[in-house]
Structure 1
């Protein structure tokens, strides 16, 4: 049985993802402060409905993933949590609020959920929390959870859990990680940045004072969250408000300004902070029939938006992609980005002087390098396979390695800047000009490099010279799946990977017999992934990705869970088989008492 509400809430959040409305803003979001640097939202009701519709319930999931010895106990824990008063089909929010310097222990994680029954919740805490001591503060109740150094506060409709975190080591708070803070869990946090030496005893009175101060501070923070004014909440930030209205299965919000303004990143120059001011990042995920939809938005602050606007909207050059000579394409990525934008960003931070000093010996400036290329690039791969290759060091020895044909092409920008780059002290010992192109000076070095063509128009590399010449001739034409070209047309970034082709080459004969079933199902799961990015105006960059499954009729989350439960069954069966074998070995080697016959 879980003994901490922190683990109950974390379990509920994790369950919503595993198991897992309208455009109305979730009520739980009003307890998120605008000082939160990271916010994760899970729409438990929406996720659960998608699974229940496909016949997956918690009972069936536990039966499928737990052994006979633990299934009943796990179900008891879950039923206990279901009856805790927490609305398991509400929106769950996990926030990281960055405050003060790391040594001050003022930053915290906040978990927020709705309550269906506050009386049941109080009874649940009393049953499961050691040293339960109920306190009342204005219009909410709370307890101090000693093991986690956390406050659990609740009113009639919501529960808030907050606990101090070390922002430099957030991975410890992820599901499966240790949530134990850096300070000993049986002693309070002290305000001192330097821990007391272990050999020095701390008077009991001082410990009590520090604990009382700690509790008082965190209770005040919970009180603050319960009574946030509209302008103090994350909902007052336009990017966060738009995220909530998307009504996704899950979402994430990042506020860089809240992170570095807290003192967590003291090394960031003031100019960088000013440049990033007003910038936010959001992302959503939705599990649909036969696909998973990922969407992300970058909301640019005033200064960044002005830089993007200066260089206008740039679109990928489809001709660089379409002349790839293959009908067996594994994947590609095409990108259009004006490199001069990087220069303006560096200059805005005041670091251009340092960059130019570092490049001084090369005879180049930062602008020379950025002007040399237009910012149009394409990488295409095809004919992906697992091939046997002989070791160059041990003749007769072969290893199996993934292999593919490929082309990388980068369009040249300003010719004068490009020629200055190629003839600079940095590169003149490597490349020499021969007519209308550049060649590698050292033949031995050239033999170790990929096939290449460097002209005043393009820098192109290839997996082999034959493919390179075919690409440069432009006589071939790539064959893409239906709809891919129209999807990436007009975008600043477009990409595609044929996952069916990638997974098809996985050798099943290398897998243990018990695992072949799972490997085969995994290979039969995914079809492809497509991703794009474009500017929705000068102040918003929008990106999306679609992960497509072969089975178009069943929800993608259901398919993932079915594969996961099948994998768990195979693993459990394998462990049981290994244990039975070990038991038989030990039983066979056990000493046998012998009876000595009398003479």
Structure 2
């Protein structure tokens, strides 16, 4: 019995390890260097928003009628299944940047091979057809499609991706030709994707596998290290060890459309050295007491951060810029050690009671403009009072240098020994220090981790109502937006498995309808408004043309001599 029990345990362990290391099937045709990947769960999305609902969208209907849209695209817009693609399975999009630019690919499952081939030929008419290792290819630069009886990859060359960095942009503005000297062999590129080994693809990437296992309507993958490789070659960047920030870094996310809200779960992976630093200094919790002190009746936005000041010093050392930082701080009257001693490690920023008010200074022709009026708070917790006074004195000196002699600073500050607050008025600074605000009911949704925030989109829109309703079209857009958007909440900071976890929640006004349906209805409304506006502009233009005398439109024939 003992032997059988031991063998059972060993067998279970082997099966568990095998299941954990099992490669994902979705990443087999995606190079591990891919900069972006988006995975769409076709079955889940179609259950929340049918294609018939999408087709009723005026924007969609206009695109279907557009003469510039290829016939093949119109076919798939009318009925995606007619393209031979199984739209109820995973669909993946990815982009890769390389030495001659980059390319974008779309891949998925084939439902009907003949339909798929006919669909591809509408885009690549007279394209060359090849077959290698049981894989069929249809290519016509800049497109290529490779497919088996089950899977397909549709590739599109994107040489402009080489111009994404700032240096290339400058060269383009200066009319320096930076187009690749050798065009991409699109067929060979497509063929190479099917020949990818698992070790060179995302199939065996543990983080990508873990991402796809998360329950979600969509998943996204952004390889930050890959995206920043070009920038890191800049000599100015190389002076600091900024590669420490990006080495091993990537961001993954899972998006869900739910009734009345959109949820996004994000993981930001960091390299080993940065990870060790975050483990040691990044486990703070935002100050609930400071959040409750935000003054004002209507809170527009609020953000809180908890940090360990010592961690900033260690980060500067890791990047190799601690000497430069200390030199700069000493010039204004304090050191990094003073900063660490002065701050306890809590920050709060907030905005409230936003409205538009008439500007006291009239513009040209007596026109009176409006400008935003609001209350703001920037507050921090105090560690050592004497050390903090050094920071205040340094700030005063900088302010005196930056402001004209006869001007007054547009803010005021105050402290009570525990907190230091800067506000648009002394009254608001004192309110933060002396009392809590009973109007804040969302704190429990954004606290408990190292950072959290809130944005009231609905109130933000209402503040600009007068400006946004100057004409009928703008008023209609404003009304549709006001009926859709409620608020946004986010928080994060927990560190697990090499990643900083974050959550974002976008809340809509209608809490009973799926958010994907609401977004489609919103897009439909905007499409109707745009269509009506274009029709109105066309009518006005024709009316204006009708008022122009015919002799002003058609020049009289030249007189004969």
Query: Alignment partner of 2:461: what SS?
Result: helix
- Looking at structure 2, the residues matched to 558 and 25 of structure 1 have their Cα atoms a distance apart, in angstroms, of 34
Task: Decide whether the 8 Å contact of 1:378 with 1:409 is kept in 2.
Answer: yes
1:235 corresponds, among 184, 188, 203, to: 203
Q: Which residue does the alignment assign to 2:233?
A: 266
Greater alpha carbon shift after TM alignment, 365-374 vs 287-296: 365-374
Greater alpha carbon shift after TM alignment, 415-424 vs 400-409: 415-424
The CA deviation string for residues 443-476 of structure 1, in whole angstroms up to 9 with x for no partner, is 845x2331212576433111222222222223x4
Q: Which residue does the alignment assign to 1:383?
A: 353
1:165 corresponds, among 159, 166, 177, to: 159
| Residue 32 (structure 1) aligned with residue 25 (structure 2) | no
Alignment size in residue pairs: 512
Matches within 5 A, 1:53-92: 56-61=52-57, 65-66=61-62, 70=66, 75-76=74-75, 78-79=77-78, 82-92=81-91
- Looking at structure 1, the residues matched to 79 and 56 of structure 2 have their Cα atoms a distance apart, in angstroms, of 17
Deviation at 1:65? 4.4
Q: Which residue does the alignment assign to 1:487?
A: 445
Compared with structure 1, are the counterparts of its residues 418 and 457 closer, same or farther at alpha carbon in structure 2 (3 Å cutoff)?
Answer: same
Query: Alignment partner of 2:128: what SS?
Result: coil
5+ unaligned residues in a row in structure 1: which ranges?
1-23, 172-181, 192-210, 433-439, 594-599
Greater alpha carbon shift after TM alignment, 535-544 vs 29-38: 535-544
Compared with structure 1, are the counterparts of its residues 584 and 371 closer, same or farther at alpha carbon in structure 2 (3 Å cutoff)?
Answer: same
Q: Which residue does the alignment assign to 1:115?
A: 110
- Looking at structure 2, the residues matched to 223 and 490 of structure 1 have their Cα atoms a distance apart, in angstroms, of 50
- Looking at structure 1, the residues matched to 23 and 47 of structure 2 have their Cα atoms a distance apart, in angstroms, of 19
Deviation at 1:32? 1.3
Q: Which residue does the alignment assign to 1:174?
A: none
Matches within 5 A, 1:72-151: 75-76=74-75, 78-79=77-78, 82-99=81-98, 104-105=99-100, 107-146=102-141, 148=142, 150-151=143-144
Q: Which residue does the alignment assign to 2:222?
A: 254
Query: Alignment partner of 1:380: what SS?
Result: strand
Compared with structure 1, are the counterparts of its residues 26 and 113 closer, same or farther at alpha carbon in structure 2 (3 Å cutoff)?
Answer: farther
- Looking at structure 2, the residues matched to 126 and 271 of structure 1 have their Cα atoms a distance apart, in angstroms, of 50
2:434 corresponds, among 468, 473, 477, to: 473
- Looking at structure 2, the residues matched to 107 and 326 of structure 1 have their Cα atoms a distance apart, in angstroms, of 50
Task: Decide whether the 8 Å contact of 2:124 with 2:138 is kept in 1.
Answer: no
Task: Decide whether the 8 Å contact of 2:380 with 2:421 is kept in 1.
Answer: yes
- Looking at structure 2, the residues matched to 234 and 497 of structure 1 have their Cα atoms a distance apart, in angstroms, of 36
Deviation at 1:336? 0.8
Task: Decide whether the 8 Å contact of 1:28 with 1:112 is kept in 2.
Answer: no
Query: Alignment partner of 1:57: what SS?
Result: helix
Task: Decide whether the 8 Å contact of 2:97 with 2:162 is kept in 1.
Answer: no
Task: Decide whether the 8 Å contact of 1:26 with 1:91 is kept in 2.
Answer: no
Matches within 5 A, 1:363-374: 364-374=334-344
The CA deviation string for residues 87-133 of structure 1, in whole angstroms up to 9 with x for no partner, is 3333222223344xxxx416433332222222322223334313311
Deviation at 1:554? 0.8
TM-score (norm 1): 0.75
Deviation at 1:47? 1.9
Task: Decide whether the 8 Å contact of 1:28 with 1:114 is kept in 2.
Answer: no
1:346 corresponds, among 309, 316, 326, to: 316
Query: Alignment partner of 1:30: what SS?
Result: coil
Compared with structure 1, are the counterparts of its residues 332 and 127 closer, same or farther at alpha carbon in structure 2 (3 Å cutoff)?
Answer: closer
Task: Decide whether the 8 Å contact of 1:329 with 1:478 is kept in 2.
Answer: no
Query: Alignment partner of 1:35: what SS?
Result: coil
Task: Decide whether the 8 Å contact of 1:64 with 1:569 is kept in 2.
Answer: no
- Looking at structure 2, the residues matched to 85 and 543 of structure 1 have their Cα atoms a distance apart, in angstroms, of 38
Task: Decide whether the 8 Å contact of 1:533 with 1:544 is kept in 2.
Answer: yes
Q: Which residue does the alignment assign to 1:520?
A: 479
| Residue 154 (structure 1) aligned with residue 147 (structure 2) | yes
Q: Which residue does the alignment assign to 2:41?
A: 43
| Residue 283 (structure 1) aligned with residue 253 (structure 2) | yes
TM-score (norm 2): 0.80
Query: Alignment partner of 2:87: what SS?
Result: coil
Task: Decide whether the 8 Å contact of 1:42 with 1:92 is kept in 2.
Answer: yes
Query: Alignment partner of 1:491: what SS?
Result: coil
The CA deviation string for residues 227-263 of structure 1, in whole angstroms up to 9 with x for no partner, is 43333322322222221112422222122334456x6
Query: Alignment partner of 1:29: what SS?
Result: coil
Deviation at 1:281? 1.2
Task: Decide whether the 8 Å contact of 2:58 with 2:527 is kept in 1.
Answer: no
Task: Decide whether the 8 Å contact of 1:65 with 1:569 is kept in 2.
Answer: no
The CA deviation string for residues 520-555 of structure 1, in whole angstroms up to 9 with x for no partner, is 222121222111113144833111111111111111
The CA deviation string for residues 41-79 of structure 1, in whole angstroms up to 9 with x for no partner, is 222332222112xx8534323587428964997754624
